[in-house]
Structure 1
């Protein structure tokens, strides 16, 4: 893999790594419109063109599944299956710093199955090996959508840079589920609730600390990116609420809230209710942003997330753009492409045609025909 310099400080933060994650080979069976597809991808920029509906987005979706365990498109896992198929599989050879791993993700009988280097593993172990950030037509929901979108974005980022986060989150979720079960059954005994509320309090404090650290790390590259992409919005500020009152210990707050929560049938406070939001000096409310500005802010968040990953994990994640030409104007396309070329990340781009910003660049190009046939162009 060619060694390329990191972004200069006036663009992205000076990340002390030239390493990058990349998928060398991608194979999929019975995903969306594809009976089978195989791509040998390059470490730099890969462009996938073809008519609308041919399946370009599904190829990005396959790589994204290996990193997130779900699609960025609407619909549940069943929508991923090719019509008439009972199972789907995605395989990839993943390279970084000269080492390689073989990843396999299958969906059958309503469950995900994960394999890493030939052995069965938990889904989380597989997802921890592959990091993909994706900018696509629905990405503006990161800014304009419900809090769950931003919480998922934040926690994915923390999961990849803080190894202990997943264990704390699992412990918290188990305690939350047990407390919710007690609430639904109308249990009133203090001794039944206390162990789960104490467990939630202990793990929530650790989750909260990890999230705060992550958002603090995100602020710097995000500010620099937004200064270049939409400087007219002024200074940016990330605001975070942890999910329960700042002046309370969670365990004590939950104990005091049992009656109210019993009436609601669920736990109304805790780490599962944490939210973060983005505010600008010239547009203090998100309703003040146009749809185009929402897209650029979402793009900046995703690219800042990639930079934080590179800084803390030591390598750049894979960066995907679905329909780049229709989502960004030419100037913003060129700005983003120039910076991505500088960092050395593997980039996957789709479009009905080669985007203007890539027309004179060295890329590996694929064409997808109706019916799911993928052809290497160069």
Structure 2
């Protein structure tokens, strides 16, 4: 998968910029605050309909503007070219594929982007929500019916939570229909998540072996969101009183989480910040490889501020792996990283939201 063209309008400090990208490595250099990361952010938006940066959606908008849009031409491994776009002028995103308005899910299905950036260690050390997002993005691209199950679950969860906040008596007549839907769709999601992690583990073990061999074997641990030895339907009924007091549903796949345990570092607290970053990077590379195995093409890989996040040996290892995979790479830096000194690279200078090709 390759981004041949990328155009951004009204995104952070970018007014209106278009760029023709190389199918290999593309480096965006410039001072801090010049707009380098926004280029990667634009590509990520097309694949996730959200930014990898924290903060409100309004922060994406260039100051003084009310609309933003991102367009791209994507060439797939079978040589098919697809034109995709994502825009927002109000509260909702609008997606297009080949000029036709589509659901966000269809856009995300067409464009796959993975990213390693300064906040990526949150995948290991942060809240469970970030790990569920990572997991569900991967499952979405492997299991075609995952999105419909996820939407059914979210709808039932919203309805049950609304009942919990309504101060009505928690009777079977009110709650049972939504709990049945939560159980049916939730068990399907749980099964697909487990199957995906089983596929991911050997890819992650190989990736970790290249980046953190001193930590030994890897074990992925999954928690489904309710006790393993108990039935979800029974738990939802039993917890109605407690959930009523809290105003939300406390058991279900929306509370799931997963973690990584190493032979030489069985607890997350045993990892240094640098090891957390490398573990997050290994997860990203493993997910990208699994995506490629399933779809026949690598996703686009974004590496934000590579030189400041990794030492030179790890930079070189990552670049070598991505070149061997023939992946398209977008990366940023204040200067050309040492790992790219002898590697064919298309270089762009970024200044005040404008791009100029240097090499």
**TM-score normalised per structure 1:** 0.93
Aligned to 1:267, what secondary structure does the other structure show?
coil
Report matched runs for 1:172-251 at 5 Å: 172-187=153-168, 188-251=170-233
Match of 1:47 among 6, 12, 27: 27
Match of 2:17 among 37, 42, 53: 37
**Runs of at least 5 residues in structure 2 that lack an aligned partner in the other structure:** none
Query: In 2, Cα distance between the equivalents of 1:280 and 1:118?
Result: 47
Runs of 4+ in 1 over 4 A off after TM superposition: none
Aligned length: 357
Query: In 1, Cα distance between the equivalents of 2:54 and 2:235?
Result: 36
Query: In 1, Cα distance between the equivalents of 2:296 and 2:354?
Result: 36
Query: In 2, Cα distance between the equivalents of 1:77 and 1:126?
Result: 19
State the shift of 1:314 in Å: 2.0
Partner of 1:86 in structure 2? 66
Partner of 2:252 in structure 1? 270
Partner of 1:321 in structure 2? 303
Query: In 2, Cα distance between the equivalents of 1:333 and 1:361?
Result: 12
Aligned to 2:124, what secondary structure does the other structure show?
helix
Aligned to 1:142, what secondary structure does the other structure show?
helix
Query: In 1, Cα distance between the equivalents of 2:337 and 2:247?
Result: 51
Matched, 1:58 2:38: yes
Query: In 2, Cα distance between the equivalents of 1:373 and 1:202?
Result: 50
Query: In 1, Cα distance between the equivalents of 2:222 and 2:88?
Result: 36
State the shift of 1:186 in Å: 2.5
Q: Is contact 1:201-1:249 (8 Å) kept?
A: no
**Runs of at least 5 residues in structure 1 that lack an aligned partner in the other structure:** 1-20
Matched, 1:332 2:307: no
**TM-score normalised per structure 2:** 0.98
Match of 2:55 among 48, 64, 75: 75
Query: In 2, Cα distance between the equivalents of 1:237 and 1:162?
Result: 23
Query: In 2, Cα distance between the equivalents of 1:134 and 1:149?
Result: 13
Partner of 1:147 in structure 2? 128
State the shift of 1:76 in Å: 1.4
Partner of 1:103 in structure 2? 84
Q: After superposing the two structures, state which structure 1 stretch, 265-274 or 226-235, moved more.
A: 226-235
Matched, 1:308 2:290: yes
Partner of 2:95 in structure 1? 114
State the shift of 1:235 in Å: 1.3
